[in-house]
Amino acid sequence: MFKPSFIYTQQMVNNLLEINSARDFIINAPLVVEMEVSLKRDALLKSAHYSTAIEGNPLSLNDVDKLARGLKITAPKKAQQEVINYLNVLKNLEKYLENGKITKKSILKLHHDITYRTLEDTYMEGQYRTIPVFVANNRGEVIFTPPSAYLVEGEMEKFLEWLNNRDDLNPVLAAGITHYEFVRIHPFVDGNGLTARALVVLLLHREEFDIESFFTLEEYYYRDRSAYYKALNSVDPKTQDLTIWLEYFLEGFLIVISHIKDQILLFSPDVSPKEQIKLSKKQMKIIEYIHLNGQITNLEVKKLFNISRQGAYKDLRRLMDLNLIEKKGGSRSTYYVLKNSF
């Protein structure tokens, strides 16, 4: 089984303590529904924008916002598809878990959905590579040579065994190790960076450490891509010591989670948790859907949760009673939007 090599430095320990403290604050902070939805939506859009931008995607954050709302933009088809793929993956993380585990099937499905209609050889979507690959810098110089293709299957098997049986290792540390080890193996012909970053999101989601999907690490990587690649390349190929990379990863995680904490401190009203509106996961999902798409219908709620029309209307009625949404249109064309005051 894969055994990661690193040393707990004082910097890492301090950052882990501060990360856990910030997480506890965010989880227990009383949030109005509007702010909760806004944080989730911003994180979703930024994750899709910055993760694809790292790979050279030309779309702006505004373009990503429009695509998320189903609007048309003027941009290369491949660039649009790449962003749409990533958005769809982030919106449906649960489908990449098998009985709570991340398996080979999970990884292949994740890669397939991330690279759908974007690879020159479409048959390579969701397939481990069978040819050698090289990682080069912007000058075309080879800076890293991943394992031979015939080793990929075995390396991934060992990695996944560790990932699902790693005892009590802190989830954030596990996420950092996962990011590096996946990139090191480079199991696919293309799309490894996007898949690695999405895999980290999936792992944190599984560990319930994504804090309701409020934050994104991709912007941190993008803001200083040279530091990102330098940290990844800091690992000695012989010793595989991850210490420097993990120091970088934890520092970024702390910066990102602290920013969310600061936002809550600055904008969240001083309201006790008892006075907050408590919504079910389904109702929260409906609010998020409207926030992203502008409106929702009873049929869309029915399909979203695979429930009856009566069940869908019950949740919509609850949201109307709470004055969060309002009904529009006629009897045959009824749809629901957020209240202006929301």
List the beta bridge partners of residue 328.
Answer: 335
112: phi then psi, degrees, rounded to nearest 5: -60, -45
Q: Using DSSP bridges, classify how beta strands 135-136 and 142-144 pair: parallel, antiparallel or unpaired.
A: antiparallel
Which domains does the chain show, CATH number per domain? Answer: 10-267 (1.10.3290.10), 277-338 (1.10.10.10)
Tens of pLDDT along 89-142?
A: 999 999 999 999 999 999 999 999 999 999 999 999 999 999 999 887 777 777
What span, in angstroms and rounded, lies between the C-alpha atoms of 267 and 261?
10
Q: Is the pLDDT of residue 86 over 70?
A: yes
| Closest residue by Cα to residue 61 from 52, 70, 227 | 52
Query: Which helix (DSSP H) or strand (DSSP E) does residue 326 occupy?
Result: strand 325-328
Check residue 137 and give its pLDDT: 72
Check residue 267 and give its pLDDT: 67
Tens of pLDDT along 215-274?
A: 899 999 999 999 999 999 999 989 999 999 999 999 999 999 999 998 888 766 554 444
For 18, what's the count of Cα atoms within 13 Å in the CB-facing half-sphere?
A: 17
Higher pLDDT residue, 275 or 231?
231
| Closest residue by Cα to residue 290 from 16, 30, 36, 37 | 37
**Predicted TM-score (pTM) above 0.95:** no
Contact indicator for 298, 311 with CB cutoff of 8 Å:
no
| Closest residue by Cα to residue 199 from 278, 305, 86 | 86
Q: Is the pLDDT of residue 313 over 90?
A: yes
